[in-house]
Each structure stands twice: as C-alpha cells, then as structure tokens.
Chains A and B, each alone.
Chain A
C-alpha cells in the first residue's frame, strides 16, 4: 500500500515560514559556504534559522561552521541541536565522519526519513544545503516541499553556468520558485554571467568576489562573518529584503 512517511513531511515543516534550497548544477561553486554564511547572517539579523545539510555523501557545513560534539535529541522524533544560534541537522550525526556511499534510491529514502522524523521548531527560514546537480535529492525536494524557493549559485566559469542553465530551466518548467542566482568567485568585472542570468529571466542577486583568505576562517563562525565573502553575501540579503 505504501510508504507512510511522505504523508507527514509537510506537517513537520508547517511552522517554517521560508524554505530556501541553496543549489547549483555543479560542485565546488561554494554552495555549502553560501548556505552556511547565509544561515549565520540571518541569525545575526535576529531570525530563527535552521540549516539542513542534504549533501549526504559529501557533507561539509559542519566543517565550515566548526560543529562537533553535539547530537540531536530524541523526543517523539528527533530535534536538531541549536549551534551558533541555528538549528542544525546533518547526516554526520549518524556517520561519525565515515564514508556513506549511497545510490539514488538510498539518497531518496534517507532524505524522506530525515524529513519525516526531524522536528524543527518555529523557524523564519530553513536553509537547505543541496548536493550538486539535478539528481534524486533535487527531484525529491521539489516533489515533497511545496513552498520551496531555490537560491542558485554559479561561478564565472562557462562550465558551471551551463549546468546552472539546465537547473534553472528545469525549475522553471516545474514552476518552482527561483529566488535568484548568485555569482561566486568573481575575479573581474565581467558581466557575462549577469547577462546570461537575465536572459533566463531570473533575478541576478549579485556577485561575490573570489575570497582567497576565506579558507583561514573555516570552522570559526565569528571569523567567517568578517570575511569579504560574508560582507558581499549580506549585501545580497539586503537586495532580497531579508
């Protein structure tokens, strides 16, 4: 007759005002960094924030935010711990940093399991760090979370943008809300990506300059918020009115 978990997913998310998937067609463009710093910047503004790392095979937001030594609490479901002012959920709580090799169907099952048992509090924003591409996790999120919006990250690379073009086209075909596109790792004043994004009739949220020093701030949230990356991303938030 079927899998009962799907019936309860929207119940679990009903107290969340905005759900934002930080996504891209390609890996290595700065999705996890964007999702993590976006979450921190929104906490700084006084919002109630959750961060959900959905990159099951290569999770990294816990490293970016320096999260260790915490576990979810069990209470008729699982309740994410609050770290650095945000409710944080990741598969690393259960894998202890060992490898988790998963095929597509397993990714779907793990995703549905977590969505159906995780009890988020009342949140203004839930930020989801997506795995790259338009595979199972992306399709499941679109299928299961009705009011989701996508914040798409690209780099100035034509290669990255070609995958973003496919992601944006798919989202538009499926009538999924696209918040806009952020161009990360900008090395010059080229407007090539902005023009391309405009031609797709999607909002250009701005550019973030290549930040050669950001690696030194990984694991330290205070230091992360002082980086030029964070400052430029915060300007993007201003544009969005957050």
Chain B
C-alpha cells in the first residue's frame, strides 16, 4: 500500500511542474514504473485518481512499465529481473526499497551482489502536457 505514498509524490511533483509551466489544466501525465519495485498498478492508479487536484480533473494518466535490467559490475553479465526467482519476503523488501535487491539478488553468472540497475528501478515522471 505504499503505492499511495509514491502516488502522492507523483502528484506533488507534477503539480509543481504544472505551476512552474503556467498550466491551467493538465491533459496528459506520463509515468514510468520500473518492474524492480513490483508496484501494484491497480493501487497506484486508484491512488492517483483519488489524490489528483482540480487541475488534473480530466488528465489522461499513461503508465508505462519498464523492465528491470541489471548489469554485474564484476563480470559484466546483463540480465532481466524476474520476481519469480525471489521468495515472498525478499520480493516484499525490494518492493519497499529497491536497493534491498543488493541483499537478495546476485549475478546469475558470478554470484556478485555488486550490480547496477540499468533501468526499471522506481517510479518516474516522464512528461506532462497541458493547457496554458
């Protein structure tokens, strides 16, 4: 349920940008959600719909899922994150704080926890369109 906290962050950040850009109404909000965090999209969408202020009343919210791609810093191996390879508790911990991945995920080739998340980490604001 911490999708609500993330939704609040998205709405707050988008409102700040709309204000800065002088938008009277926001028509499209594009959000990217990384798979590593295993966000429950239904909850995120519901939270966004409940939290959006008047300026976002008719906003089309477009959520794109971004596959989580990891690269080992030791051997260079690159792989796609799969939730199925984790037990419930590990998956839940990564859901709250994606960096916890360094505790529970190892490079499938060399076993190192020293990897970078190339893409698909958290929730990102991609673009915002509106009427001035």
Q: A residues engaging B (CB < 8 A)?
A: 1-8, 11, 56, 74-78, 91, 94-96, 98-103, 106-107, 109-110, 113-114, 116-117, 119
**B1 near A113: Cβ-Cβ < 8 Å:** no
- Please report the C-alpha to C-alpha distance between residue A109 and residue B8 in the assembled complex, in whole angstroms: 18
Q: Which A residues are in CB contact (< 8 Å) with B4?
A: 76-77
B130 interfacial contact with A, CB 8 Å = no
**B13 near A78: Cβ-Cβ < 8 Å:** no
Q: Which residue of B lies closest to A74 (CB)?
A: B1
B99 interfacial contact with A, CB 8 Å = yes
Q: Which residue of B lies closest to A116 (CB)?
A: B9
Known pairs A3-B125, A96-B93, A99-B113; list 13 more (Cβ under 8 Å). Answer: A4-B6, A4-B10, A5-B6, A5-B122, A74-B2, A77-B5, A78-B2, A101-B113, A109-B98, A110-B97, A110-B98, A110-B99, A113-B99
- Please report the C-alpha to C-alpha distance between residue A114 and residue B117 in the assembled complex, in whole angstroms: 18
Can you list 15 A-B pairs, Cβ within 8 angstroms, ordered by A? A1-B126, A3-B125, A4-B123, A7-B13, A7-B16, A56-B99, A74-B1, A76-B47, A77-B8, A94-B93, A98-B103, A98-B104, A101-B102, A101-B114, A107-B99
- Please report the C-alpha to C-alpha distance between residue A102 and residue B100 in the assembled complex, in whole angstroms: 9
Q: Which B residues are in CB contact (< 8 Å) with A119?
A: 5
Q: Which B residues are in CB contact (< 8 Å) with A100?
A: 99-100, 102-103
If over half of B's interface residues share one DSSP class (helix, strand or loop), that class is named, otherwise mixed; here it is helix
Q: Which A residues are in CB contact (< 8 Å) with B127?
A: 1
**A109 near B5: Cβ-Cβ < 8 Å:** no
**Size bin of chain B's contact surface:** 35 or more
Known: A7-B12, A100-B102, A100-B103. A1 touches B125 (CB 8 A): yes
Q: Which residue of B lies closest to A78 (CB)?
A: B2
- Taking the closest CB of chain B, its distance from the CB of A98, in whole angstroms, is 5
- Please report the C-alpha to C-alpha distance between residue A119 and residue B5 in the assembled complex, in whole angstroms: 9
Q: Which B residues are in CB contact (< 8 Å) with A96?
A: 89, 93, 103
- Taking the closest CB of chain B, its distance from the CB of A121, in whole angstroms, is 15
**B124 near A1: Cβ-Cβ < 8 Å:** yes
Q: Which A residues are in CB contact (< 8 Å) with B123?
A: 4-5
**A77 near B2: Cβ-Cβ < 8 Å:** yes
**B122 near A113: Cβ-Cβ < 8 Å:** yes
Choose one: B12, B124, B126; the contact of A8 (CB below 8 Å): B12
**A117 near B2: Cβ-Cβ < 8 Å:** yes
- Please report the C-alpha to C-alpha distance between residue A11 and residue B51 in the assembled complex, in whole angstroms: 15
- Please report the C-alpha to C-alpha distance between residue A100 and residue B47 in the assembled complex, in whole angstroms: 31
Q: Which A residues are in CB contact (< 8 Å) with B61?
A: none
- Taking the closest CB of chain B, its distance from the CB of A29, in whole angstroms, is 26
